[in-house]
Amino acid sequence: MSSPDADGPLADQLLSLTRRLHRSHKHQLEERGIGITPAQSRLLRTLSHHLQHHGSPPRMADLAERLEVVPRAVTTLVDALESGGKVRRVPDPDNRRVIRIELTDEGRKALSELRGARRAAAEEILAPLTDLERTVLGELLDTLMGEGGAPPERRC
Amino acid sequence: MSSPDADGPLADQLLSLTRRLHRSHKHQLEERGIGITPAQSRLLRTLSHHLQHHGSPPRMADLAERLEVVPRAVTTLVDALESGGKVRRVPDPDNRRVIRIELTDEGRKALSELRGARRAAAEEILAPLTDLERTVLGELLDTLMGEGGAPPERRC
DNA sequence: GCTCATTGTTACCTATACTCACAATGAATC
DNA sequence: GATTCATTGTGAGTATAGGTAACAATGAGC
């Protein structure tokens, strides 16, 4: 809460940069014929991440929290992925309100193709940076994201 | 083109961070009763920036290039800003195809209110960083943005 | 049993940005 | 001067990503 006046421009650059990253990601996904959108890609990666850390498949609500979106937004994404066969909705036997999201074989295949697309997009955007600079950037982002941020509920 | 495999996660963090920034910016604009959206805010700042560097008001095409969007996207934004009285379309006497975008008094007022909102959003997001870290981050982003990136036209 | 919180979804709305087609204009060439 | 081609902005339509509000089904506490 002290830096002079550079925060605004800094924020602008962040937004512009991410706009490029998003566009590049989208084009990579299209060019490689992977039939999913960037947001679906993010959901798939989140899903995979969850499976690695907890053994069990996540609930819709878990995904929403992790993605920092409202649960309703997850429904749409899972709808699309499920109709593409990448993911499967499985009712939870212990609590009939919850739905667990499982990764299908096709989903696993998509994930590996998708990683290439994401890396290519990242590489395209980060090209100007050396390894050291990338490391530094990574640490700064860790610091920024670590705080837990503000999940959907606002304090006002 | 060398770092091991950290580019993907790094890109993810960038995207998540910017998502937060965008949300915060939007809420700030709403809470302060400024009647514009983030994209309109960006256009206004771009407009102001252009005026400071070239004396004359920019053409639609100038704004599109600067914002890295297709010209059609600018039309929608200017429509909204013009209907809100923040901006004025003025035909160029030298070339009757072009339209110059001028800032109105109301637009100038919006700009100053808007800067507060943007700074607050940036501050909220960047809070975990020290001044030094912000400087470093700023330099890294300068490097990344400097390259000129890939304006809309793709090379494929 | 009755009330209340949780969970996901249906229905709808907004913001942003894209493509395609087009009309108006300017520039260049014959 | 007429023809052809490039530039400039916009109408029409689409897609993606997200949000709110209302609701039905379920679980939990009293």
For residue A86, give how far its alpha carbon lies from the nearest alpha carbon of chain B (Å). Answer: 21
The whole-number pLDDT of residue B149 equals: 53
| Residue A70 contacts B where some CB pair is shorter than 8 Å | no
Whole-structure pTM value = 0.87
Residue A90: which H helix or E strand, with range? strand A87-91
Separation CA A110–CA B48 (nearest Å): 44
3-state helix, strand, coil in chain B (%, to 5): 65, 5, 30
pLDDT at B153 over 70: no
| Residue A20 contacts B where some CB pair is shorter than 8 Å | yes
Could you tell me which residue, B61 or A134, shows the higher pLDDT?
A: B61
| Residue A147 contacts B where some CB pair is shorter than 8 Å | yes
Closest residue (CA to C1') to nucleotide D17 in the complex? A39
| Residue B137 contacts A where some CB pair is shorter than 8 Å | yes
Please return the burial class of A122, using the count of CB atoms within 10 Å of its CB with bins 0-12, 13-18 and 19+. buried
Instruction: Say if residues A12 and B42 touch (Cβ distance below 8 Å).
Output: yes
pLDDT in tens, B118-134: 988 888 888 888 888 88
The closest CB to that of A21, out of B15, B123, B134, belongs to: B15
Band the pLDDT of A153: cuts 50, 70, 90: very low
Band the pLDDT of A154: cuts 50, 70, 90: very low
pLDDT in tens, A72-106: 999 999 999 999 999 999 999 999 999 999 999 99
The whole-number pLDDT of residue A151 equals: 43
B90 touches strand D (CB under 7 A): no
The per-residue pLDDT of chain A, averaged, comes to 88
Taken as a whole, chain B contains a residue count of 156
The whole-number pLDDT of residue B102 equals: 97
Tokens of A108: 């696993």
Average pLDDT over residues A110-131: 90
Q: How many CB contacts within 8 angstroms connect chain A with chain B?
A: 159
pLDDT at A6 over 80: no
Tokens of B98: 């072009």
Unique residue bearing structure tokens 């295949």: A109
Separation CA A110–CA A82 (nearest Å): 13
The per-residue pLDDT of chain B, averaged, comes to 89
Cα–Cα nearest to A44, from A99, A112, A125: A112
pLDDT in tens, B79-89: 999 999 999 99
Chain C nucleotides with an atom closer than 7 Å to a protein C-beta: 6-11, 15-21, 24-27
Distances (CA, A) of B102 to A112, B30, B34, B38, B81: 49, 24, 19, 19, 11
Instruction: Say if residues A133 and B1 touch (Cβ distance below 8 Å).
Output: no
B99 touches strand D (CB under 7 A): yes
Tokens of B129: 């960083």
- Count CB neighbours of A148 within 10 A: 6
The whole-number pLDDT of residue B156 equals: 34
pLDDT in tens, B22-47: 999 999 999 899 999 999 999 999 99
Q: Determine the residue among A16, A44, A65, A155 to mutate to test chain B binding: the one whose Cβ has the most chain B Cβ atoms within 10 Å.
A: A16
Q: What are the DSSP E strand ranges found in chain B? A: 87-91, 99-103
Indicate the SS3 state at residue B156: coil
The whole-number pLDDT of residue A4 equals: 55
- Residue B131: list chain A partners with CB under 8 A: 2-3
pLDDT in tens, A56-78: 999 999 999 999 999 999 999 99
Instruction: Say if residues A146 and A138 touch (Cβ distance below 8 Å).
Output: no
pLDDT in tens, A15-37: 999 999 999 999 999 999 999 99
Nucleotide closest to B26 measured between CA and C1': C15
